[in-house]
Structure 1
Amino acid sequence: MNKEELLQLLHPMKLIGLSGNPALNEKIASILHKPLIETAVHHFSDGEIQVNIGESVRGCDVFVIQSIQNPVNENFMELEIVLDALHRASAHQINVVTPYLAYSRSDTKTRSREPITAKLVANLLQITGMDHLIALDLHASQIQGFYNIPVDHLHAMPLLTQYFIDNGIATKEDNDLVIVSPDHSGAKLARNFAQYFDAPIAIVDQRGARYDAETHDVIGDVKDKKCIIVDDLIDTGSRISSSTKSVMAAGAKKVYVAATHALLSQNATEVLNELPIEQIIVTDTIKHNHYPDRMVRMSVDLLLARGIDYVYHDRSIHQIYDEQNEIK
């Protein structure tokens, strides 16, 4: 009996996909050639959630896939209840896979009497019995330090970068390419994205306590340039709107957008449709019924499936990072 067969015998892998993003759950399960455990989730009339896991998980390494998207609190509570059920059912190891982890933007205290909700979420997940977390493009990398368990932080930006290369939109040979950060706090992300193209960056000087959709000054040269605005998520679309208007006012000739998570809250679809953007490239971490025009969704199914496979087989996740950096 080889190591693989022994592992499957002692602690077989089992997958649970919850309500956040069923389509992505199915894609991941298909790649891993593992069926999703039948899990019945019932909502009572008063909003309470009941969960029933359809088969034994005793001694198993269980991976629970849940995108904590809108309705955020409902999806988070569903995850918490499933974790409690798995803990009580004697699962060997409980791994949580969050394509999108809500509350990640609340990672620091900036005003008096303000909570650090990302830390609260970490505490609640760990108290319920989670052993391992696989996350994708957290709003701030330091959130990993909120957990006292292993956290594997995967990145979708190389996937988005490859799209621009494959479709001839941007290459290292482009002398007119500029990567744009929509604010000062996103400069590091823009620089990391720009390194794949050896391109300069520009920063929209977004001022004020709240983001708005107005035109602002741009730090850097974007005149007659092809601009790619890079962000980790698109929420109401106001930050993308401000960035687009700002670089166009500064003389940019074309604007593209790349972001991992498309929250598309409130009237974001209408806001984005009105902007002179060539294409908006996002991933499928979040499910919606309708998407803005010119939005292209790249699937992170293979990336997350590989993350699950590597964790299950105790392989170094760093190999995924190395392969991602080898942009073709």
Structure 2
Amino acid sequence: MPTMTEPKLIAGNANLPLAKAIARRMTMHRGAHTGLVEARVERFNDGEIFVEVFENVRGEDMFIIQPTSNPANDNLMELLIISDALRRSSAARITAVIPYFGYARQDRRTKARTPISAKLVANMMVEAGIERILTMDLHAAQIQGFFDIPVDNLYASPIFALDIRTHFKGQLDQLTVISPDVGGVARARELAKRVNAPLAIVDKRREKPGEVAEMTVIGNVQDKICLIVDDICDTAGTLCKAAEVLMQAGAKEVHSYISHGVMSGPAVERVQNSVMKSLVISDTIQPTEAVKAATNIRIVPTAPVFAQAIVNIWNGTSVSSLFEDATLIPIYESLYGGE
């Protein structure tokens, strides 16, 4: 855009390694140094958040990199307060880059007298001065409609497809993509099409949140390498149970591809002790030391795709082009160049 000379990045404390990686990748993409705007985001003794931006941002195109992951409330407030600080400092445009959008699981009223928290969070973001959202794999696509501002929702499936074609080379005809529930079929079908694999479903019935009463495999998984695909792995109970059910149904191996590794409570221990050969997650949420140390958990980077999306937004060019292999493979060449 003619009045905006450089895109400027600023980050909260939720995932600083990802923010720094995005800045490095943008430097590579543009051939010009892109760093994080110098600022302090800290807490008073009573837990209140204080933000001070040390650089001039007047008239600049600002991108705040801040997933609203655990602790969700603290990270959400950091995002809102950073946005308010930038708006009051006369930034020309504020885009929130939210790799993991917290509260997305509360996208509708499932019973009487419950909130739609995702809509409330959307209202708060717009009120804080955010003018555009860039995120990845929203839990529910309809959340985009909660905003009256542009929302660009990137997908992990094209990245996972590159990873699968690299790590299962020579075995692609043995793959079956698995949706762990009926609601995730569209996501699983998208990945299945990309790797030219059949689709099966693990149908589950929940007695209450976090507890699964019964699981049934719909489809043929006999002697297949099963790839479970989902957007969120929280406590990993459902995931590990689904892997067991698939092995009992005759699967040869079970692997999982999950967009957002929330990995709460006993999740890492459950994954390590499960029948799954590997769990692949993205780095939209900063992995804990336990996650990084787990032998059967692998992390794929999202910085290349987020960096290119930010450049495209700044340039006013297509973000949806990043869903195509022809665009994605070059920016992941260092990882999957030989696939």
CA contact (8 A) 2:206 2:212 kept: no
CA RMSD of aligned residues (A): 1.8
2:145 aligned partner, one-letter code: G
Aligned counterpart in structure 1 of residue 16 of structure 2, from 11, 14, 22? 22
Segment drifting more, 274-283 vs 211-220:
211-220
- Cα drift, residue 169 of structure 1: 5.1
User: What's the counterpart of residue 277 of structure 1?
Assistant: 276
Q: Does 1:187 align with 2:188?
A: no
Question: Could you say if the C-alpha distance between residues 214 and 89 of structure 1 is closer, same or farther in structure 2, counting changes exceeding 3 Å?
Answer: same
SS of 2:229 mapped into structure 1: strand
CA contact (8 A) 2:205 2:214 kept: no
Segment drifting more, 303-312 vs 215-224:
215-224
SS of 2:107 mapped into structure 1: coil
- Cα drift, residue 281 of structure 1: 1.1
Q: Does 1:316 align with 2:318?
A: yes
- Cα drift, residue 286 of structure 1: 0.9
- Cα drift, residue 214 of structure 1: 6.4
Separation (CA, whole Å) in 1 of partners of 2:74 and 2:245: 37
1:229 aligned partner, one-letter code: I
User: What's the counterpart of residue 123 of structure 1?
Assistant: 123
Separation (CA, whole Å) in 2 of partners of 1:117 and 1:103: 6
Question: Could you say if the C-alpha distance between residues 185 and 241 of structure 1 is closer, same or farther in structure 2, counting changes exceeding 3 Å?
Answer: same
Aligned residues: percent identity?
37
Q: Does 1:142 align with 2:142?
A: yes
User: What's the counterpart of residue 178 of structure 1?
Assistant: 176
Matches within 5 A, 1:239-318: 239-287=238-286, 288-291=288-291, 292-318=294-320
1:21 aligned partner, one-letter code: N
CA contact (8 A) 2:240 2:276 kept: no
Q: Does 1:223 align with 2:222?
A: yes
SS of 1:161 mapped into structure 2: helix
1:255 aligned partner, one-letter code: V
Question: Could you say if the C-alpha distance between residues 324 and 190 of structure 1 is closer, same or farther in structure 2, counting changes exceeding 3 Å?
Answer: farther
Q: Size of the alignment, in residue pairs?
A: 320
Structure 1, unaligned runs of 5 or more:
none
CA contact (8 A) 1:14 1:36 kept: yes
SS of 2:105 mapped into structure 1: coil
- Cα drift, residue 198 of structure 1: 2.3
Matches within 5 A, 1:77-116: 77-116=77-116
Separation (CA, whole Å) in 2 of partners of 1:241 and 1:319: 34
SS of 1:290 mapped into structure 2: helix
SS of 1:258 mapped into structure 2: strand
CA contact (8 A) 2:205 2:213 kept: no
- Cα drift, residue 280 of structure 1: 1.0
- Cα drift, residue 323 of structure 1: 3.7
Deviation digits for residues 230-287 of structure 1 (CA, Å, limit 9, x no counterpart) = 1011100011012111111111110010011100001100111111111111111111
- Cα drift, residue 137 of structure 1: 0.7
- Cα drift, residue 140 of structure 1: 1.1
- Cα drift, residue 156 of structure 1: 1.3
Separation (CA, whole Å) in 2 of partners of 1:137 and 1:168: 24
- Cα drift, residue 8 of structure 1: 4.6
Question: Could you say if the C-alpha distance between residues 8 and 80 of structure 1 is closer, same or farther in structure 2, counting changes exceeding 3 Å?
Answer: closer
Separation (CA, whole Å) in 2 of partners of 1:323 and 1:148: 30
- Cα drift, residue 7 of structure 1: 4.5
2:177 aligned partner, one-letter code: I
Separation (CA, whole Å) in 1 of partners of 2:162 and 2:199: 18
Q: Please report the TM-score for the alignment, with normalisation by the length of structure 1.
A: 0.93
Separation (CA, whole Å) in 2 of partners of 1:277 and 1:228: 10
CA contact (8 A) 1:170 1:177 kept: no
User: What's the counterpart of residue 53 of structure 1?
Assistant: 53
SS of 1:227 mapped into structure 2: strand
Separation (CA, whole Å) in 2 of partners of 1:323 and 1:277: 28
1:279 aligned partner, one-letter code: S
SS of 2:221 mapped into structure 1: coil
Separation (CA, whole Å) in 2 of partners of 1:213 and 1:169: 34
- Cα drift, residue 209 of structure 1: 3.7
- Cα drift, residue 318 of structure 1: 2.2
Structure 2, unaligned runs of 5 or more:
28-33, 330-338
Higher relative helix content: 2
- Cα drift, residue 202 of structure 1: 1.3
Question: Could you say if the C-alpha distance between residues 15 and 60 of structure 1 is closer, same or farther in structure 2, counting changes exceeding 3 Å?
Answer: same
Question: Could you say if the C-alpha distance between residues 323 and 200 of structure 1 is closer, same or farther in structure 2, counting changes exceeding 3 Å?
Answer: closer
Q: Please report the TM-score for the alignment, with normalisation by the length of structure 2.
A: 0.90
CA contact (8 A) 2:158 2:324 kept: no
SS of 1:68 mapped into structure 2: coil
